[in-house]
């Protein structure tokens, strides 16, 4: 008996033809052996080259399909970015084509105003490498490690001069915290090796109905800072320079294209 009605789940387990070549061309990288240094290079390039954005939901009223071929079309062929299920979904497939033992894992955001835990509608990536479990995330859209870190509790790890650590929760989840003058909890993650298809439901939850993204958000890392558009507030951080301004509707398209290389 079929598990679902008229749906072919096999599409989630097929890596699109040409994915590795097109992806590495987008990231301006070459094939290398699957090492932690190479993984870190891939993560950093992804954060710089492919923006986090939720415009399909908050601006353009588009459906969000996380089937691999649809993700490849959007992220690699079109001038678009995506959010966690799209970005981490396709990136973990790239890692597999490069010889990494890569899986997706469920996460929940901690940077929100709700007084209770929100559903686990985020995801990240687990990479099992040289006997270690590594964590990385190219779909957070905020202050996340710019490379991979080992999934070890209470150990401070530094990436690009930013420090992070995991703490274990009684519920079996692990909190990722950015260390600073005031420590910033970023997300909770579970050590589960998941497939892209496992996030079909969470993607619907985050892209439709009352649980969908409500505020426009576009973000991209740069070589010495970041660019972030949240609502109509546009922030550019370059080294010690911090600029903020309000973007009106008339200039939104040009800001998206000029700063994030996004075009509908």
- Residues annotated catalytic, as ranges: 84, 122, 137
Tokens of 3: 């598990």
User: Which residues, listed in sequence order, are joined to residue 245 by a DSSP beta bridge?
Assistant: 234
Handedness of CA 45, 184, 139, 222 (dihedral sign): negative
**Alpha-carbon gap, residue 68 to 16, rounded angstroms:** 7
Strands 174-179 and 217-222: unpaired
HEC profile of 92-127: HHHHHHCCCEEEEEEEEECCCCCCCCCCCCEEEEEE
Q: What is the enclosing helix (H) or strand (E) of 179?
A: strand 174-179
Return the closest-CA partner of residue 138 out of 224, 23, 35: 23
What phi and psi, each to the nearest 5 degrees, are found at residue 228? -145, 130
Structural contact between residues 95 and 39, judged by C-beta atoms closer than 8 angstroms? yes
Of 56, 109, 98, 70, nearest in space to 200 by CA? 70
Nearest-Å Rg of the Cα atoms of the chain is 18
Rounded CA separation 242/232 (Å): 17
């Amino acid at each position: 008996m079929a598990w679902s009605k008229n749906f072919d789940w096999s599409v989630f387990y097929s890596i699109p033809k040409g994915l590795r070549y097109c992806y590495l061309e987008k990231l301006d990288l070459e094939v290398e052996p699957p090492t932690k240094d190479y993984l870190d290079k891939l993560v950093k390039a992804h954060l710089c080259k492919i923006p986090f954005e939720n415009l399909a939901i908050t601006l353009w009223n588009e459906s969000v399909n996380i089937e691999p071929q649809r993700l490849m079309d959007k992220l690699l062929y079109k001038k678009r970015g995506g959010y966690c299920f799209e970005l981490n979904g396709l990136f973990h497939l790239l890692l597999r084509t490069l010889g990494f033992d890569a899986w997706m894992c469920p996460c929940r955001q901690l940077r929100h105003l709700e007084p209770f835990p929100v559903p686990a509608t985020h995801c990240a990536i687990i990479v099992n490498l040289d006997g270690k479990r590594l964590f990385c995330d190219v779909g957070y859209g905020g202050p996340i490690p710019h490379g991979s870190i080992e999934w070890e509790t209470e150990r401070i790890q530094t990436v690009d001069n930013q420090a992070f650590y995991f703490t274990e929760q009684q519920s079996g989840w692990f909190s990722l915290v950015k260390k600073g003058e005031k420590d910033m909890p970023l997300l909770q993650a579970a050590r589960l090796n998941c497939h892209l298809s496992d996030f079909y439901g969470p993607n619907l939850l985050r892209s439709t109905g009352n649980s969908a993204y409500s505020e426009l958000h576009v973000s991209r890392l740069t070589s010495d800072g970041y660019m972030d558009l949240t609502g109509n507030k546009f922030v550019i951080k370059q080294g010690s320079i911090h600029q903020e301004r309000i973007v009106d509707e008339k200039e939104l398209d040009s800001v998206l294209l000029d700063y994030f290389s996004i075009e509908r």
